[in-house]
Amino acid sequence: MNARSSLVAVGLLCGLAHAQAPVLNPRNGHYYEVVATSLDWNGARADAESRSHLGASGHLVTFAGAEEDDWVYDVLAGGPLGNAWIGLYQDMTAPDYSEPAGGWRWVTGEPLVYLNWKSGEPNDGGGAEHYGGYWAGDEWNDYRLDDGAVVSFVVEFDVSSWTHYCVTSPNSVGSGAIIWAEGTSSVSANALTLGVSGVPDQFGVFLFGSSRVQTPFGDGFLCLRGGIQLLYPPRAASGGEGRLDLDLATAPLAGVITAGSTWNFQHMYRDPGFGVAMFNLSDGLEVVFAP
């Protein structure tokens, strides 16, 4: 092992000793942790990718928008985070590379659709600033690879695991109801919320089953089968949306939904102002549950 590798290895051990326990972001179901140690950007990236939580591998944090960015900086560490590496770097081989603002990429390869540079940044100070991180005040700066001002990094674990399937059908308020989830599919965390959007403000109920199907039912389609159960009590939607916080520790979910199991969910709702049957259903949502 050369001197450079030895320094990185020591840094990794230090990072492990100063890591915050992963924290759930309830809006997207991902977990995040702050590792308080001074590594260069490459070392931080390697450390992040060596970690795992609830079966998901880590990576330096990436942002889909301002809400996620603000949550990480202001909430994750219990207050302003300060200077910390994020998963942003400048690909100097990219066709759109130019200094100082061209060629920036997320480590995950996801599209870079959101930016939060501090005024005047990036500026490629000294001609060697190609790595992104937080500056004070929840804004980003471009740094050198080994900038000593950066004293921590943020790891993200993409734990959520759910998939839409089946079809929705037009109803009295629009093109159809869409079921969704927020929180985490981790059974031990027990923090998953089901929601539905695009429904009339009528009573509805969530239901679940062990397998998929698509068959006409009511004024729409039934998207699940296999021991279908309703998640009582029925609730009235408000403002076109309905929500239900699942409790995996109580019936009918307790002992049924387990780590590694796959279940399908749907929402059924009254719609007296549309159709013949006067009730309709959302599309389906398949959830793979983690430990």
Same domain as 272, residue 141: no
Same domain as 177, residue 144: no
- What's the CATH number where 78 sits? 3.10.100.10
Same domain as 166, residue 153: no
Same domain as 244, residue 257: yes
pLDDT band, very low/low/confident/very high, at 20 (cuts 50, 70, 90): low
d(CA 159, CA 54): 7
pLDDT tens per residue across span 208-245: 999 999 999 999 999 999 999 999 999 999 999 999 99
* Domain around 51: 3-157
More confident residue, 83 or 182: 83
Percent of the chain with pLDDT strictly greater than 90? 75
Domain count, the chain: 2
**Residue 7: predicted pLDDT:** 34
Q: Point out the domain boundary residue: 157, 192, 224.
A: 157
d(CA 195, CA 180): 5
pLDDT tens per residue across span 185-215: 889 889 899 999 999 999 999 999 999 999 9
Q: Which of 131, 113, 109, 112 is nearest to 122 (CA)?
A: 131
Same domain as 169, residue 252: yes
d(CA 69, CA 49): 20
DSSP E strand stretches across 18-120: 23-24, 31-35, 52-53, 56-60, 84-90, 104-106
Q: Which of 134, 124, 131, 125 is nearest to 42 (CA)?
A: 131
- What's the CATH number where 217 sits? 2.60.40.10
pLDDT tens per residue across span 98-137: 999 999 999 999 999 999 999 999 999 999 999 999 998 8
